[in-house]
């Protein structure tokens, strides 16, 4: 009985690792699509000019680090209830911190930091909102699809509790 439960736990862990990597690839694909659409929408020959490409690059970089980092940190919490809560909180903090820092930097007086003013005028703030919200929605859908499906039981109780099917 113990060997079967260990094998099931190993299979679940391998499946969780595959879902984590697949989720990261999905988030990266969404990010690439967003960046490509943003570049096509306002490239150097249109309203944004060369600063538009810098804004897209900066926002994509910040959102990729925060989104992927938040995804990996939140997925680390699959080992139990306490770890799940701390992983979720850590993921949320990481997902929010970098975009908020970028938004704060973009809000600095343009005379103090001219680069921030140029990027803000090129539309970096709007890009940040679109990228962040789209990646957040993708992350939420991935967590709904691949998150725990019920109450987590301690390992001792899982081994002795029969599966009840309704």
DSSP string, the chain: -HHHHHHHHHHHHHHHHHHHHHHHHHHHHHHHHHHHHHHHHH-TTSTTTHHHHHHHHHHHHHHHHHHHHHHHHHHGGGG-HHHHHHHHHHHHHHHHHHHHHHHHHHTS-TTT-HHHHHHHHHTHHHHHHHHHHHHHHHHHHHHHHHS--SPPPPHHHHHHSPPP--
The overall pTM is greater than 0.75: yes
C-alpha distances (whole Å) from 53 to each of 5, 10, 36, 39, 130 are 53, 45, 11, 7, 16
Tell me phi and psi for residue 161, to 5 degrees: -90, 120
- The CA R_g of the chain, rounded to the nearest whole Å, is 21
For residue 137, give both structure tokens.
């929605």
Tens-digit pLDDT profile for residues 133-158: 999 999 999 988 887 655 555 555 54
Lowest mean pLDDT, pick from 25-34, 48-57, 79-88, 136-145: 79-88
Give the model confidence (pLDDT) of 90-103 as tens digits: 999 999 999 999 99
């Amino acid at each position: 009985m113990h060997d079967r439960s260990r094998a099931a736990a190993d299979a679940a862990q391998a499946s969780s690792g595959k879902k984590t990597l697949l989720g990261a690839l999905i988030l990266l694909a969404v990010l690439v699509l967003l960046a490509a659409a943003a570049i096509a929408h306002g490239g150097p020959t249109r309203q944004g000019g060369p600063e538009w490409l810098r804004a897209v690059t900066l926002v994509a970089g910040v959102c990729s680090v925060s989104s992927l980092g938040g995804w990996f940190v939140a997925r680390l919490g699959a080992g139990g209830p306490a770890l799940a809560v701390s992983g979720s909180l850590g993921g949320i903090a990481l997902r929010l911190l970098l975009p908020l820092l970028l938004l704060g930097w973009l809000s600095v007086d343009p005379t103090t930091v001219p680069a921030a003013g140029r990027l803000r005028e090129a539309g970096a703030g709007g890009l940040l909102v679109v990228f962040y919200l789209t990646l957040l929605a993708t992350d939420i859908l991935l967590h709904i699809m691949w998150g725990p499906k019920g109450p987590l039981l301690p390992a001792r109780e899982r081994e002795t509790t029969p599966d009840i099917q309704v």
